[in-house]
Amino acid sequence: MTNILFYVLAIVALLGAAGVVLAKSPMGSVVSLLGTFFALAVIYLLAGFQFLAGAQILVYAGAILVLFLFVIMLLNLGAMGSKFELSFAPLQSTRARIAGCIALALALVGLVAAQRASFAAVPERDASAPAIDSMEGLALELFGRYSLPFQATSLLLLVTMVGVIALAKRQRSGDEPAKGEERP
Amino acid sequence: MNVPSEHLLYLSAGLFALGLLGFLVRRNVIVVLMCVELMLNAANLAFLAASRQHSTAEHPALQGPVFAIFVITVAAAEAAVGLALVIALYRLKQSAETDAAAEMKG
């Protein structure tokens, strides 16, 4: 039963990914990407990763996609097409054919590598089984063995924050709007 | 579920290939960034498939989830910086197309 659910969700994820590439407007791409992220979150849950499924929804669907939506609305790019339409126009150029060949070759390499790996069978996992990524085990790893990368991550986030503020700030210092009359 | 781990890797390869295709084909910078997110998600799925394969009930393989968490963090940072660059590009060129920034082409 859950196996069938996995295959349905895998198809949903792939269709969503195709929608990201083919959607006419960026808004359509965001909606397709949202579908892919949710399908992947449920796949993580089925595979026994409860924390990662939550993090996927919270961080990807909740934070990153909202950031994309903010920028699309800020730049008013969503107005290019109000309906969700697919467009095959970007795929009909020489550049697209070369890119398609590269992507196809890469996918084939991945498929063959996975095929040749010959994994042992995984035992059936039911919903009552404890998660692979239990909070306790994950915390022990993150704050024990991986505490240095964990702290490097905090540095990365700080650098990102400062960098984004520096990038998004208005460049001209001469005609800065006076206090109280900022542009909307 | 007891789907073989190969099938998770097949899905991962498919998602990565679609992300790469979009990254190379699309001209809208925002869609290009979304395709990068797609590729990072495919990498996450591969990490988790490997972790699932090597986990036993007594000894869960936690390297996979830990690296997936790091990937999610880096993806968030990358999206923030990338979108700030999109805004800066839009201010400079009034366009969010990759062809707008072509000064440095040979």
Taking the alpha carbons at both ends of chain B, their separation in whole angstroms is: 53
- Beta-carbon separation of A134 and B60 below 8 A: yes
Note which residues in 124-143 of chain A have CB less than 8 A from chain B.
124-125, 129-130, 132-134, 137-138, 141-142
Contact by Cβ (8 Å): A35, A12: yes
Q: Which of A84-88, B22-26, B72-76 has the highest mean pLDDT?
A: B72-76
Q: Which amino acid is at A10?
A: A
DSSP tag of A85? -
Determine the pLDDT at residue B3.
86
pLDDT average, residue stretch B19-44: 92
Residue A181 reports pLDDT greater than 50: no
Has residue A135 got a pLDDT over 50? yes
Q: Phi-psi region for residue B22, left (φ > 0), alpha (ψ -120 to 50) or beta?
A: alpha
Interchain contact B10–A (C-beta under 8 A): yes
CATH topology of domain B5-94: Helix Hairpins (1.10.287)
Least Cα separation, residue B101 to chain A (angstroms)? 16
pLDDT digit string (tens) for A83-94? Answer: 677 777 777 788
Across the interface, do A68 and B30 touch by the CB < 8 Å criterion? yes
A123-131: Cβ within 8 A, 24+ apart? A123/B2, A124/B1, A124/B2, A125/A46, A125/A47, A125/A48, A125/B1, A125/B2, A129/A48, A129/B57, A130/B57, A131/A48, A131/A49, A131/A50, A131/A51
pLDDT of residue A81: 57
What pLDDT band is residue B96 in, cutting at 50, 70 and 90?
confident
Question: Which pLDDT score, from 0 to 100, does residue B95 have?
Answer: 83
Chain A residue numbers with beta carbons less than 8 Å from the beta carbon of B10 are 110-111, 114
Nearest by Cα to A56 from B55, B2, B87, B71: B71
| pLDDT (average), residues B6-34 | 92
Task: For residues A100 and A78, give the distance between their C-alpha atoms in angstroms, rounded to a whole number.
Answer: 27
Task: Classify the C-alpha dihedral A56-A57-A58-A64 as positive or negative.
Answer: positive
Domain boundaries, chain A: 1-81, 144-175
Min Cα separation A179/chain B (Å): 22
CA of B62 to nearest chain A CA: how many angstroms apart? 6
Q: Say how far apart CA A138 and CA A172 lie, in whole Å.
A: 47
Averaged pLDDT score across all residues of chain A: 84
- As a three-state string, the secondary structure of chain B is CCCCHHHHHHHHHHHHHHHHHHHHHCCEHHHHHHHHHHHHHHHHHHHHHHHHHHCCCCCCCCHHHHHHHHHHHHHHHHHHHHHHHHHHHHHHHCCCEHHHCCCCCC
Judge whether B86 and B96 are in contact, CB under 8 Å. Answer: yes
Q: What is the mean pLDDT of residues A75-98?
A: 74
Domain ranges for chain B: 5-94
User: What is residue B15's predicted lDDT score, i.e. its pLDDT?
Assistant: 94
CATH number of A1-81: 1.20.120.1200
Q: Is the CB of residue B2 less than 8 Å from the CB of residue A3?
A: yes
- Which of A125-129, A157-161, A177-181 is least confident? A177-181
Q: Do A14 and B16 touch (CB under 8 A)?
A: no
Residue A182 confidence (pLDDT) above 50: no
Res. B44 pLDDT band, cuts 50 70 90: very high
pLDDT at A184: 46
Residue A142 DSSP label: I
Q: Do B4 and A119 touch (CB under 8 A)?
A: yes
pLDDT category of residue A161 using cuts at 50, 70 and 90: very high
Q: pTM of the entire structure?
A: 0.87
A62 has a pLDDT exceeding 70: yes
CA distance A80 to A112: 40
Mean pLDDT score, A44-67:
92
Percent share of chain A, pLDDT over 90:
45
CA distance A44 to A46: 5
Whether A5 has a pLDDT exceeding 60, the answer reads yes
